[in-house]
Amino acid sequence: MEKIVIAGHGSPENNANNLDHVARLLHEMIHPGCGEDCVRAAYLRFAKPGIMEAVTSCVRDGAKKVIIHPYFLSSGAHVSQDIPSIIREAGEKYPEVQFVCTEPMGVHNKMVQVVLERIETASAGLKPWEIEKKSFDIISDEIDLSDLPEERRPVIKRVIHTTADFEYKESLVFYPGAVKAGIAAIKAGKDILTDVEMVRTGINRNLLEKWGGRVICEIRGQGVGIRDSDNKTRAERGIEDALKENSNIGIIAIGNAPTALLKTIELLSTGKGLLPYDAVPPLVIGVPVGFVKAVESKSLLAAQDFPFITNISRKGGSTVAVAIVNALLKMA
């Protein structure tokens, strides 16, 4: 088993410690639909987890090979001394594991392309929000959403913006009033429960916290697909525990684990073991990606009599779940 650690410097400013996003994108690029925690972020200082801590968690989860990528632009002291020292320590501590350290970001023709893109954007005088607006304008020009209910259009647009996939216009399915239910939950200060950390880290917490809500993920241990003594996956157990312990959950966002979605449907449709929800069930955003149980779990969700947003296809994933939630947050 192979794990990858993206190792950055870290900053006292929490908002600057965003390697989780890089790790998530890389993971979905190399292992689409994977439910394991194959790519992890770590920091040299100021932020958690530390590099050794991340390496240790990889080994505990069964990794026989750990690849460490220094997310640095040049080979300074951190890359040439500090990180190799940590890797040597890890090698001594775990001699049965192979450790590989890549070159840093460095000078690469693709980096030059990124710099050129930034220069062209700045020369055009476009701010980040203006770039997003232009992207949405392009989407509006290329696809007609006028035949859809107005409240659903911002959600579909943001999913298309995230995926560059116009098929979501046809495959996204909404329970009547689902969008209104999601906005109402946000404005009521309800919490958002996610199946995996990849979804949790992508949700715009600044927008949610203005209303008093939190984003929570109750994964116990590492590896969402690993089953416990009760033959339940970590993601499935996390959903079950959270719903039994927290009566303030207003939205459940599942982008990775079909087992978590199936467990959510079971609990909400039967009410088994749940805390009272004041007769207002949570909105379930269920868009797991993959070939095993993904379509089946979403088809089952589409037949339920509580608020949901889903898509009937193999496509989906954490980024789609995040896009739907963030669309609702911006609408709120």
Rounded-to-integer distance, Cα 98 and Cα 230, Å: 33
Residue 209 has a CB neighbour count (10 Å cut-off) of: 12
Q: Is 161 a catalytic residue?
A: yes
Torsion of CA 70, 98, 35, 200, to 10 degrees: -30
Q: Give Cα separations from 146 to 120, 129, 163, 260 (angstroms).
A: 33, 24, 20, 34
What's 136's DSSP letter? Answer: H
Q: Look up residue 180 and give its amino acid.
A: K
Rounded-to-integer distance, Cα 134 and Cα 109, Å: 27
CA 59 to chain centre: 23
Size of the chain, expressed as the number of residues it contains: 332
| Residue of 21, 31, 69, 161 marked catalytic | 161
Q: Give Cα separations from 231 to 225, 265, 274 (angstroms).
A: 11, 18, 20
Is residue 65 helix, strand or coil?
A: strand
Rounded-to-integer distance, Cα 233 and Cα 261, Å: 11
Rounded-to-integer distance, Cα 145 and Cα 138, Å: 13
Question: Which residues form the catalytic set?
Answer: 161
